[in-house]
Amino acid sequence: MAVRNLLKGFASVADDITSDGLRATMLDDFEQTGIAWIWASDADGTLNYLSPAAAGALDVPLPQLLGQPVATLFETDPDDPDNRSGRPLGFQLKARSKVQDVVVRCALPQARTGKPVWLSLSGQPKIDSSGKFHGYRGAAKDVSVEYQRKIEDQRLAEFDSLTGLYNRHRMNRRLEGVLAAYKAAKRVCALMMLDLDRFKQVNDTMGHPAGDNLLQQVAERLRNVIGDRGEIGRLGGDEFQVILPDMDDRGKLGELAEKVIQIVSQPYPIDDKRAIIGTSVGIAIAPYDGLESDELIRASDLALYAAKNGGRGQFRFYSADLKDEEEERALLLDDLREALAADELQLHYQPVVRISDNMVVGMEALMRWEHEERGWVPPGTFIPVAEESSLIAPLGEWALHRACRDAMEWPETVRVAVNVSARQFTANGFVDVVAAALQESGLAPDRLELELTESVFMGDSETTEVTFNALKKIGVRLALDDFGTGYSSLSYLRSAPFDKLKVDKSFVDTCTQKDQNSAKIITAIIGLSKALGMETTVEGVEAFDQLDVVKKRGAELVQGWIYSKAMPQAMVLANIHSGEFKIEPSGPDKHRADRRSMFRRIGIIHGDHRYEAVIRDLSKNGAFIEGLVGVPKGTQFVLDLGSGQLVVSEVMRSEGAQLGVEFETPLVNDGAGGLCTRHRVSPYALAAAGMPLTSFAAGGATPLNQQAPTTPPAFMQVQVGSGG
């Protein structure tokens, strides 16, 4: 404070330093000390005096500094938390405000090439008794060392020390700033939230140092995937967040999320072991899903919970009808625990068929749960909930016992396959559970097939090997499920005594598409399996064109809807005759992806009229609609799918009240097994039309500000029921 007051005293006499030789000498001596320097500007804001030592510190010749506008000559650091006014230097000078300890650096290119020199600038406006402004008089001080230290301290305070990513504090501050600026500029911003699946198992089985190593590798992979498209932060634990400015294309966001999931889910080398995890991703977009940071964070959190609840390894976009998934999971777990205790769970069985004679050689046991209020709960919903809790052990034990008992009523040539989670497999006493199920039922061990995924190799390799050996000693069969979708290391096949590989459905879905390599991958897996003396089952065959492809590629065993969906034990027994079990294939000639049957009311906009209709089938490129009569082919509509989703469509088929329409722009995957538009009507556009600026509410029509129709309706609207 004393130095500052002294500098004020010097500044106040700097205008008249020639009038007093002693003062001039003292001023020169003070400038030479390097404690501080003096500067002055004229009424136009041009720098007309600067201590020569200051120019030397900046490494810029003094003549190049003098005559420059102060506001453009020096720039402030926008991230400087000590900028008390929060306003740039130029603003303060223009307002003729007092300037106090504003940290700046020279903006000239030649001053930016070396090590940055930071100056603390203070100044007072010089106003005479008549009120005339004469410019600024002030002092400057070299604070480079202190400021660089402060920058480093600030960096440590805003960065995660383990991964080097931004921390929660920095991400929250950054998101608030981005959304505030983007609201004013009517720009969009996506927020991606993700956490790691099975990370806790890595910590539990491999130790916390291994977990820290894993998090560092995940951070590096995220940097490689996201690149300069966004800012990445670690919020704590295994939670990560990505801010993606100016992104609202849900097609591109979905592709980015899928790439993140794919890259993060690849195995991690840690010491001499390999860790396998996954990730789930939730996405929310401003201004559609929230205008403020807390709204957008909550929306992305809910989307993340929905992704985890949907089976993990998936992404979800936020929709306004999502419930608090964390609370939902807790309720679901309680209900599942009660259902298991009350023996309300079921096993259904999907046949594995030999293509050559259509004989059933095996049945995969699939768990089913019919909730009295929720209806049928998908396994992809309740199995992950069980895996996160201690309930997976009794659930898996129940399934083994029930499957073995049911299989005893089948022909001896038919095996039963039971899925085993990694947590079950690595639990103490698992081998004893398998042995007890066989002994209680009397099933021959070679008729029981345990289906495992690569995640069983994540833990202690010695313990895993001991479990494998013990199971083979009992005589049960082992199958590696979802082969080809993960790391698919050949070392697994070398070290583990598998009897079968199962080709994942994802390859079958695209095996008839010429621009995909799926058919070649199926050929390679079947060839590898045969070379190792293993069987292969190709999963997910639904149509004859797929069956023809996999058959030509060497498949011998097939599992899929073309033969049968999973069925309860009573139906299995009804289909068994004379010790045989034979199923003829039946299904569509060609596989049609992405067509979904539904019953949902939508809006149809034509001219200045809005009609209500029902959408029954939806694909990426078109839909089947009921509810309008008298619509000629070639008519163009805008379909309102709700929540700002508008689709330009053309009528390709018209029969009575039934319409087939084709979309001008294809829909994209919404991450939940459904479809959505790439873009939505911006709430900014609605606000410009006179409506309040708000994010979209649950469901409902897009609130377009339409005037009353000026022409009669072109078509007749008819009522359509769910059974119509």
What tens digit of pLDDT does each residue of 465-487 get? Answer: 888 899 999 999 999 887 766 55
Are 8 and 134 in a shared domain?
Answer: yes
- What's 18's domain CATH number? 3.30.450.20
Tokens at 346, concatenated: 């079921």
- Give the integer Cα–Cα distance in Å for 631 and 717: 10
Are 173 and 291 in a shared domain?
Answer: yes
Q: Is the pLDDT of residue 28 over 80?
A: no
Tokens at 551, concatenated: 């058959």
Tokens at 52, concatenated: 């020569």
Q: Is the pLDDT of residue 694 over 70?
A: yes
The more confidently predicted of residues 222 and 71 is: 222
Question: Are 707 and 608 in contact, with CB atoms under 8 Å apart?
Answer: yes
The more confidently predicted of residues 451 and 321 is: 451
Q: Is the pLDDT of residue 164 over 80?
A: yes
3-class secondary structure, 463: helix
Q: Is the pLDDT of residue 606 over 70?
A: yes
**What's the pLDDT score for residue 157?**
78
- Give the integer Cα–Cα distance in Å for 209 and 217: 13
- Give the integer Cα–Cα distance in Å for 106 and 75: 6
Are 255 and 217 in a shared domain?
Answer: yes
R_g over Cα of the chain? 35
**What's the pLDDT score for residue 17?**
43
3-class secondary structure, 691: coil
Are 403 and 511 in a shared domain?
Answer: yes
The number of CA neighbours under 13 Å toward the Cβ of 166 is 17
Side by side, the strands of the sheet bearing 47-50 are 47-50, 37-41, 133-142, 119-127, 99-106, 74-76
- Give the integer Cα–Cα distance in Å for 231 and 722: 46
How many domains, the chain? 4
- What's 420's domain CATH number? 3.20.20.450
Are 365 and 500 in a shared domain?
Answer: yes
* Residue 330 maps to a domain: no
Mean pLDDT value of segment 363-371: 92
- What lies within 8 Å, CB to CB, of 634 at 6+ separation is 650, 651
* Residue 51 maps to a domain: yes
Are 271 and 352 in a shared domain?
Answer: no
- What lies within 8 Å, CB to CB, of 565 at 6+ separation is 350
- What lies within 8 Å, CB to CB, of 403 at 6+ separation is 347, 365, 416, 418, 437, 448
- Give the integer Cα–Cα distance in Å for 312 and 441: 34
Are 233 and 142 in a shared domain?
Answer: no
The more confidently predicted of residues 79 and 164 is: 164
Q: What is the dihedral of CA 451, 455, 460, 465, to 10 degrees?
A: 30
Point out which residues pair with 368 in neighbouring strands. 346
Task: Say which amino acid occupies 61.
Answer: P
pLDDT bracket for residue 495 (50, 70, 90): low
The more confidently predicted of residues 527 and 594 is: 527
Mean pLDDT value of segment 331-356: 92
If you average pLDDT over each of 100-114, 323-337, 543-557, 592-606, which comes out highest?
543-557
Q: Is the pLDDT of residue 123 over 90?
A: yes
* Residue 173 maps to a domain: yes
Are 111 and 174 in a shared domain?
Answer: no
- Global pTM reads 0.63
**What's the pLDDT score for residue 712?**
84
**What's the pLDDT score for residue 403?**
96
What is the β-pairing status of strands 448-452 and 477-483? parallel
Tens digit of each residue's pLDDT (9 = 90 or more) over 610-646: 899 998 888 889 999 998 999 999 999 999 988 889 9
**What's the pLDDT score for residue 3?**
43
pLDDT bracket for residue 371 (50, 70, 90): confident
Angstrom distances, CA of residue 212 to CA of 236, 368, 507, 540: 12, 38, 34, 38
| Eight-class DSSP state of 554 | T
| Eight-class DSSP state of 278 | E
Tens digit of each residue's pLDDT (9 = 90 or more) over 36-47: 889 999 999 999
3-class secondary structure, 195: strand
**What's the pLDDT score for residue 14?**
47
Tokens at 345, concatenated: 């769970």
- Give the integer Cα–Cα distance in Å for 660 and 394: 50
H helix runs in 348-496, sequence order: 379-387, 392-407, 422-426, 430-441, 461-474, 490-495
Q: Is the pLDDT of residue 608 over 70?
A: yes
* Residue 331 maps to a domain: no
Q: Is the pLDDT of residue 13 over 50?
A: no
Angstrom distances, CA of residue 29 to CA of 23, 53, 60, 588: 10, 12, 22, 96
DSSP 142-183: E-HHHHHHHHHHHHHHHB-TTT-SB-HHHHHHHHHHHHHHHH
**What's the pLDDT score for residue 504?**
86
H helix runs in 584-713, sequence order: 683-688
Which residue is listed with tokens 């604070």?
143
Q: Is the pLDDT of residue 132 over 90?
A: yes
Tokens at 473, concatenated: 């000693």
pLDDT bracket for residue 6 (50, 70, 90): very low
- Exposed, middle or buried, 298 (CB in 10 Å: 0-12/13-18/19+)? middle
Which of 236-240, 472-476, 559-563, 584-588 is predicted with the least confidence, judged by mean pLDDT? 584-588
- Give the integer Cα–Cα distance in Å for 347 and 225: 41
pLDDT bracket for residue 286 (50, 70, 90): very high
Q: Is the pLDDT of residue 15 over 70?
A: no
- Give the integer Cα–Cα distance in Å for 301 and 324: 9
Element of type H or E holding 515: none
- Give the integer Cα–Cα distance in Å for 18 and 10: 13
Point out which residues pair with 539 in neighbouring strands. 559
Tokens at 629, concatenated: 């009569």
Tokens at 1, concatenated: 């404070």
Which of 112-116, 290-294, 488-492, 537-541 is predicted with the least confidence, judged by mean pLDDT? 488-492
Tens digit of each residue's pLDDT (9 = 90 or more) over 83-98: 554 577 888 888 888 9
- Give the integer Cα–Cα distance in Å for 114 and 152: 18
**What's the pLDDT score for residue 411?**
92
**What's the pLDDT score for residue 201?**
81
- What's 227's domain CATH number? 3.30.70.270
| Eight-class DSSP state of 345 | E
Element of type H or E holding 350: strand 345-354
- Give the integer Cα–Cα distance in Å for 338 and 96: 73
Question: Are 559 and 350 in contact, with CB atoms under 8 Å apart?
Answer: yes
How many residues does the structure list for the chain?
724
The more confidently predicted of residues 723 and 602 is: 602
* Residue 333 maps to a domain: no
The more confidently predicted of residues 698 and 159 is: 159
* Residue 588 maps to a domain: no
Point out which residues pair with 557 in neighbouring strands. 354, 537
Which residue is listed with tokens 């998934």?
325
H helix runs in 388-421, sequence order: 392-407
| Eight-class DSSP state of 268 | E
Tally of CB atoms within 10 A around 608: 12
pLDDT bracket for residue 459 (50, 70, 90): low
Are 146 and 169 in a shared domain?
Answer: no
Mean pLDDT value of segment 65-82: 80
Are 222 and 91 in a shared domain?
Answer: no
Domain that holds residue 102: 2-150
Q: Is the pLDDT of residue 9 over 50?
A: no
**What's the pLDDT score for residue 505?**
85
Q: Is the pLDDT of residue 488 over 70?
A: no
* Residue 382 maps to a domain: yes
Instruction: Examine the fold and report which residue of 267, 287, 322 is the final residue of a domain before the chain moves on.
Output: 322
Instruction: Examine the fold and report which residue of 91, 115, 150 is the final residue of a domain before the chain moves on.
Output: 150
Q: Is the pLDDT of residue 217 over 50?
A: yes
Tokens at 207, concatenated: 């130790």
Tens digit of each residue's pLDDT (9 = 90 or more) over 658-689: 999 999 999 998 887 788 999 998 888 877 76
What is the crossing angle of helices 208-226 and 199-206, to 10°?
A: 140
* Residue 524 maps to a domain: yes
The Cα angle at residue 42 between residues 40 and 44, in degrees rounded to 5:
135
Instruction: Examine the fold and report which residue of 150, 181, 197 is the final residue of a domain before the chain moves on.
Output: 150
Angstrom distances, CA of residue 667 to CA of 295, 622, 664, 704: 26, 9, 9, 21
Question: Are 58 and 65 in contact, with CB atoms under 8 Å apart?
Answer: yes
3-class secondary structure, 358: coil
- Positive/negative CA dihedral, 624, 630, 632, 638: negative
Give the chain's end-to-end CA distance (angstroms, integer): 84
Are 386 and 484 in a shared domain?
Answer: yes
| Eight-class DSSP state of 98 | P
**What's the pLDDT score for residue 417?**
96
**What's the pLDDT score for residue 698?**
59
Question: Are 268 and 210 in contact, with CB atoms under 8 Å apart?
Answer: no
- Give the integer Cα–Cα distance in Å for 517 and 349: 31
| Eight-class DSSP state of 81 | T
Q: Is the pLDDT of residue 431 over 90?
A: yes
DSSP 596-632: EEEEEEEEEEETTEEEEEEEEEE-SSEEEEESEES--
The Cα angle at residue 488 between residues 485 and 489, in degrees rounded to 5:
160
Q: Is the pLDDT of residue 701 over 80?
A: no
Are 13 and 135 in a shared domain?
Answer: yes
Tell me, rounded to whole angstroms, the distance of Cα 332 from its chain centroid.
24
Share of the chain above pLDDT 90, in %: 44
